[in-house]
Every structure is written in C-alpha cells, then in structure tokens.
Amino acid sequence: MPNKIYAFRLRYTRSPRDTINCKEKTLPLPIAEPGRELVLKAREADKTIETSGSLTLNGAGWPTNEEAERTGRFYADVLSRTCARLRLGVDFGDRAGKSFFTKAGLDAMSERSGRPVLNDVHGLMTYEQTGNPGLAFASMNAKGTRGIGPDRFLSVFGAALARPRELSKQEQVALEMFNSSFFQDSADGRFVLLMIAIEALIEQQPRDEMTKAIVQGFLSQVDALADLDGNRKHELKSGLGYLQIESISQAGRRMLREKLGAREYEGMPADQFFGSCYSLRSRLVHGLQPFPASDEVKNVVAQLEVMASHLLSTDLLDAVPD
C-alpha cells in the first residue's frame, strides 16, 4: 500500500485594484523544503493569474495531514507578508462566510464527474493527495487595476521565505485590517481600516518618572477624599492612571520614528504624517469640527496605505525599491 501524501490549498480573493502581471495560469514559487512543490494558480479555469479575481496557493508532498496544515499556515504567513510589502490586498477568508456541500452532495458530484470532488474552501484546507487524480473543488456560486510584475513578486516572496519569522497577534490583526481596506469602495472606509491596522501595532510605554510621580500625587489626593463615593473614585483613578503611560498618538509617533526613520509621506516624516492622520481620524470618527471633507480624506489615504505597507513589512523593504 503506497504511503499517503498530503497537500494544502489556500484559496484567497485578490483586491480588484491590484494584481500580479503574470499571463500564465500557474506561477511556481520558491520553497524551503527540497522535493516539495509550491505553486500559485488562477482559480478560474479560463483566467490567468493576472486576470483571475480568485487565486490558490498549492503545496504538496507532506507525509501527514498535520504537517501539511502547519506548513500551509507558514506559507500563508509568507504570502501575507509579501502582499503587504507590495500593497496587494488579499482576503484569506478569515471573515468570509463558509458555504459547504454535504458529503452526500459531494458523493453525487463525484459520481457524475467520475473524479473526486472536495469543498472549495475560502481559506486554508488540507487533503490527502494520494489516490486523488483529477481532484475537483466544488463551490457555490470597471475599476482600474494596479499590476505587480512576476519578477518583483518573486523577489519579495523569496526574501520573505529567506527571513522566516512568526507573526505576532498584533501583526495578524493589523494585516487583517490592512487587507480589508482594499475591499472598501469609499475613501473613508479605507482610511479608518488603515488607521486601525497601524494602531494595532502600537505598544504604549510608561511616561518618565517625574510625570508618574505627579500622577501618583493626584491619585493619593483622590484616595484622601472621604466624602467621594466609590464609583466616582474609581472613575477618577482610572482616568488618572492612563496619564502614566503614553497616549496612543505619542506612542504611534514614537513607533513610526523607530521603524520607518527618515521615510517621508506627503512630504512629511513618518511620525508627523501619522500625527496628522491621527488628528484627521479623530475628526472623522468622533465628529469633531471641522468635520473632514471627502477630498481631505482622499488626499491622504493613498500615502497612508503606502506607510501601512512599509510598517507591516519593515524586514522586506530592501527586497525591492518602491
């Protein structure tokens, strides 16, 4: 009896604004494990990678289903980092609705077609490749497009593969928000999601010792107020406690200085551009006056996308020039 071989398949949707300018149906990708294969494919049979709105990342050659799934998640992260660097918006199905045929339905389709049929999962799936020739996948069923050359795509993918690292929880959330922004029709929606992506990466630090000492003095005064009820004391102390750490705005500007240095966006250093966008975000989200006009948001969202891309792929910035 032949040894079982398992494969993984990651189906994803690309942003309608961006694509890889590859006129083939498949694009072989570099892989760290010898003797295995990794291929990017157009999901739609009559489309190329450039024209297909849905693509699959396919890997094969693992001896167990667990190894196939673990490796699939590794290459999903490599692909996610690659796309972030190149500003290729992708939807890996993390929030997509899951629609599945029952086993009876799949069996009926297999009998009619004469070949095995599996559910076409939006996202990552694994399956036994051995004994499944001609495997099929069943599913229910005027804007400009920005193109990325296949050589450029392969350069960044190769760099991401050569520098493997585990994505933090904050990065995973940030990437999800970043990718979601590519599927928004409005500039407002894109702007807010991009700001959420950046803010997800912020880690607030304690303020200096003098500031903390001043805040502690105020906290002690609140404690000493005998005629103040417990709820109001708690509210005051909670509010004062936040003054002992950086504000989101301050922490964000520090993070941008540390990670992007002298890079400029809209003619401003990264930290200043973030500060300007944070102010715009507050006016947009909280209805502060003057409420931002549509053009004000449109004028900055493209560069905010570039900055978010850089922030999410700082280890890949040298892979290709902007």
Residue spans of the domains in the chain: they are 6-166, 188-203+246-316, 209-242
Cβ pair 91, 12 in contact under 8 A: yes
Q: What letter does residue 163 receive in the DSSP assignment?
A: S
Q: Residue 1: its pLDDT value, please? A: 47
Mean pLDDT in runs of 10 for the chain (322 residues)? 83 93 97 92 94 95 94 96 95 66 75 76 82 69 79 97 96 96 91 97 88 80 80 80 83 97 96 97 89 91 97 96 90
Write out the two tokens for 208: 């200096």
Question: Model pTM?
Answer: 0.75
Of 47, 51, 59, nearest to 14 by C-alpha is: 51
Cβ pair 71, 59 in contact under 8 A: yes
Q: What is the dihedral sign for C-alpha 107, 111, 117, 120?
A: negative
Question: Helices (H) and strands (E) in the chain — how many of each?
Answer: 10, 12
Within 10 Å of residue 27's Cβ, how many Cβ atoms? Answer: 19
Q: Residue 240: its pLDDT value, please? A: 77
Taking only the tens place, the pLDDT of each residue in 14-54 is 999 999 999 999 999 999 988 899 999 999 889 999 999 99
